Amino acid sequence: MLDIKQIRNQTEQVKAALGRRGDYDLSSLLALDAQQREIEKTRSDLQASSNEVGKSVGQKMRGGADPKSDEIKALKDEGNRLKQEISELEPKERELKVQIESILLTLPNLPSDSTPEGKSEDDNVEVRRWGDELIDADKTCLPHYEIGEKLGIMNFERSVKVAQSRFVTLIGAGAALERALISFMLARHTDAGYTEVLPPILVNSDSMQGSGQLPKFAEDGFKCDRDDLWLTPTAEVPLTNLHREEVLTAEQLPINYCAYTPCFRREAGSYGRDTRGLIRLHQFNKVEMYKFVHPDSSFNELEKLTADAEDVLQQLKLPYRVLELCTGDLGFGATKTYDLEVWLPSAGKYREISSCSNCVDFQGRRANIRFKESGKKGTQYVHTLNGSGLAVGRTMAAILENYQQADGAIAVPEVLQKYMGVDVIK
């Protein structure tokens, strides 16, 4: 969430920054803010006058004034009148604050100064590639979903019977490969200093709002209305809210978490896209990396986070490229994002497998997560970062295609063999 003080005091700068992302009108918000501040000042002045009246009554009574005298009665009447006016202003002020917050919750984060300009994904900037020598331009292979069904390790048709379309059932070596990938990713991240977390899969609306999924992405979520709980769309949600409404110490930072969770998304607005295979499912597994950091180090931490996601792909020997997202393709809560795209031979192109973002104080402000430095007054909002490390289904898809052999077997990446106990899937 953006800082209303920044919007108020640096209006033109905020307008210009939001203008890099799209068309956002701040006039209603600024009008409500001015109205709320005027009422707040009036209420504050009335409260000061009321306090003075009360003080005057007390002084006169201690000086021997008759409690029933006209003077005391007049003062008390004035005090009651002031209290009545204050009581009428308070609900108006609260309602204005609610309206202001409801608008603030819909505004995206401001892009960083270094975020490339652009209107869509076509304007994203390629930063680097890895593993070009592993790409065989002449290789022909079956798409991952076809080879998966041919090997009998995944079934989409029976998943429709159990649930509906855009679900998959993994069988035998398919289930083992998924489990191996999760175990490998968690082991890699914990070795790198992340603390493993197994959070709740159901999260409440406050958690969804704190991380930025609500109100904007409500249509993308699966909600259990009876309990006001949502199936988590990403481990980013519960990890953000582990420290909601807390004041940390500077010495605790950075806090690095990693977590495996199933994730659930309706994929609203994506109908007709990637209807086959593992790329865009309603339920998928993901290992998430998450950081709570000091504001001074957040952009350096983004580079580290991205490197940690890249290392997973490098250890799996999967070719990929890194893109820096432009302003028009930037996620709602992010100020700067790198996307990792893995090579899929059947399509002859790269597909997103991880998104690594610095949200600066956007989530910290929404979830009220602050920290205090010793020897300094007041608190600051933490900066938060998140990144897939990795999307497990998409990683499996990349393995099934990049490691596909001429006879249709799948070679198991060396780093996964100890988890699976085999070096080939036939």
- Give catalytic residues, as residue numbers: 265, 280, 352, 355, 394
First to last CA, the chain: 50
213-235 in b/e burial notation, b at 16+ Cβ within 10 A? Answer: bbeeeeeebeeeeeeebbbbbbb
The residues near 339 (Cβ < 8 Å, ≥ 6 apart) are 124, 322, 323, 325, 352, 354, 355, 356
Report CA-CA distances (Å) from 237 to 160, 378, 409: 28, 27, 38
Cα separation, 399 vs 342, whole angstroms: 10
Q: Are 176 and 420 in contact (CB under 8 A)?
A: yes
102: how many CB neighbours lie within 10 A of its CB? 12
Cα separation, 151 vs 171, whole angstroms: 10
The strand pair at 195-197 and 255-264 is best described as parallel
- For residue 129, which amino acid is it? R
The residue count of the chain comes to 426
**Where does residue 342 rank: exposed (0-12), middle (13-18), buried (19+ CB within 10 A)?**
buried
